[in-house]
Amino acid sequence: MRSFWTSFTAFLLSASVSAGSLLAACPYCGVTPPSLAEQVASHDAVVLGKFLEGDKPNRQKELSGATRFEIVKIVKGADENLTQGGTLSLDRYRDGSKGDLVLIMGNKDADADDALKWTELINMTEESFDYMVKAPGLDVPVQQRLVYFLGFLEHPNSVVAADAFSEFAISAYKDIVPLAPLMEPDRIRSWLENPETPPDRVLRTGFYGLILGLCGDEEDGEFLKNKLLTSSADYQFGIDGMTSGYILLTGKQGFNVLEEAMILNPESSQTDLFQVLQSLRFIWTYDRERIPQADLFSAMRAVLKRPEIADMAIIDLARWKDWEAMDQVVGLYEKEGFNDPPVKRAIIRYLMTAKGSAELSPSEGADSHVEKAQKHLERLKEADPRLFKEVERYFFE
């Protein structure tokens, strides 16, 4: 189990190692396909086609087959070979039923005299195509665009709903926050309560929990609290977004509830610890004014007491430049239950980061964290030269 969490957090940190990358997109939306608007923008030609017929591959002739469509609408890319009502042929077979609508996208092939090469095909309906063509373009300010997509997040048409969510997933948190007055807490809560959520929409629960924290009220705070405090010990997608949403709604009061239940409680599960750790990261990155910095430091230092997640906390304390935690961090190096390679590597990285940082902690005097870190590093290098060399080899400030 520990190896899963260590690998998972390493993935998260590699994807969000700097504040710049963290701010680049919605923090709890996960990885989504490019939106329809992005795909249209990245292709030279886009047409709406109606399936006519297809020829299956013939192995004896080593053919890839063919598919023919009627061009219903030219969305982008005027070309002498493209005419509305005309026929578009692809040199490969694609299964379909007569009359099926398909969005077909292609780019000019420089090796073939700029002839169009069709590469992307997306199943459409009249409804999803109407949604797409009415959507504001990429030249429209992000917040204005998101107002349109907000109304389609749980649309019954799966293409529409998935695309609307993709638009939020690629948007910065700072662009989502101003939409709070337009959000409907009752609807969002109903999405989180739905026991029959389709598998393709489960990954949206973290985002819904987060935006409920932006637009909800005291009752929604209680709803999220009950969700969090009665959650399964097994990891559930979206629970970290709900945790952050709860803190957004309740501030320090809710923060204290989670700290007591999930960090200070020795019986809390590793899932509980991980979700609150993610929320500490979220608050630090996006809304640091909501919780006093001293409280964030204190909570993260408390996570150090749990060996199964201590290495993750050490990494964050280094990112936060909490050098007053140095004695506590270094004290774990030989402590029973903590002295395994992931924790030791994290401690060495923490000290290397401290050594290279000129930023003083509030209470530091002449014996600064730089000097302390240097002394600790010299001792650990002598005591554990092989591990030290390994960390040093892959350390980047």
* Each residue's pLDDT expressed in tens, for the chain with a length of 397 residues: 443 334 334 333 333 333 333 345 788 887 788 999 999 999 999 999 999 998 888 766 557 788 999 999 999 987 777 889 999 998 888 889 999 999 999 998 888 777 888 988 999 999 999 999 999 999 999 999 999 999 999 999 999 999 999 999 999 999 999 999 999 999 999 999 876 766 667 778 899 999 999 999 999 999 999 989 886 555 567 788 999 999 999 999 999 999 999 999 988 888 888 889 999 999 999 999 999 999 999 999 999 999 999 999 999 999 999 999 999 999 999 899 898 899 999 999 999 999 988 766 655 554 588 899 999 999 999 999 999 999 988 776 5
In angstroms, the CA 363 to CA 350 distance is 19
Token pair recorded at residue 124: 């459409």
Q: Which pLDDT score is estimated for 16?
A: 38
| Helical residues (DSSP H) of the chain, grouped into ranges | 2-15, 19-22, 36-41, 126-134, 142-150, 158-169, 173-176, 185-193, 205-215, 218-229, 239-258, 270-286, 293-303, 310-319, 326-330, 341-355, 369-383, 385-393
User: Helix 205-215 to helix 218-229 angle, to the nearest 10 degrees?
Assistant: 150
Q: Which pLDDT score is estimated for 313?
A: 96
Q: Is 124 helix (H, G, I), strand (E, B) or coil?
A: strand
In angstroms, the CA 122 to CA 43 distance is 14
